[in-house]
Amino acid sequence: MKGTSYLSFKVRLTVLLMAALVSTTFAGNFKNDMDITFGGARANILNGGQDLTLSLDQYSGSGFQSKHEYLFGRFDIQLKLVPGNSAGTVTTFYLSSQGAAHDEIDFEFLGNSSGNPYTIHTNVFAQGKGNKEQQFHLWFDPTAAFHTYTILWNSQRIIFLIDNIPIRVFSNNEASGVAFPKSQPMRVYASLWNADDWATQGGRVKTDWTKAPFTASYRNFNAIANMVVGGNQVPTSSGINDNQAWSSQGLDAAGRNRLRWVQSKHMIYNYCDDRNRFPNGLPTECKQSRFL
Q: Among candidates 20, 2, 7, which has minimal Cα distance to 166?
A: 20
Catalytic residue, chosen from 104, 133, 174, 285, is 104
Is 219 in contact with 23 (CB distance < 8 Å)?
Answer: no
81: DSSP letter: P
Q: Is 174 a catalytic residue?
A: no
State whether residue 36 is helix, strand or coil.
Answer: strand
Torsion of CA 39, 93, 114, 112, to 10 degrees: 100
- Cα angle: 208, vertex 212, 214; to 5 degrees: 105
Catalytic residue, chosen from 69, 108, 133, 285, is 108
Q: Among candidates 66, 3, 2, 60, which has minimal Cα distance to 31?
A: 66
Radius of gyration, alpha carbons of the chain: 19
Q: Is 104 a catalytic residue?
A: yes
State whether residue 244 is helix, strand or coil.
Answer: coil
Report the alpha-carbon distance of residue 172 to residue 260 in Å, rounded. Answer: 20
Q: Which residues does the annotation mark as catalytic? A: 104, 108
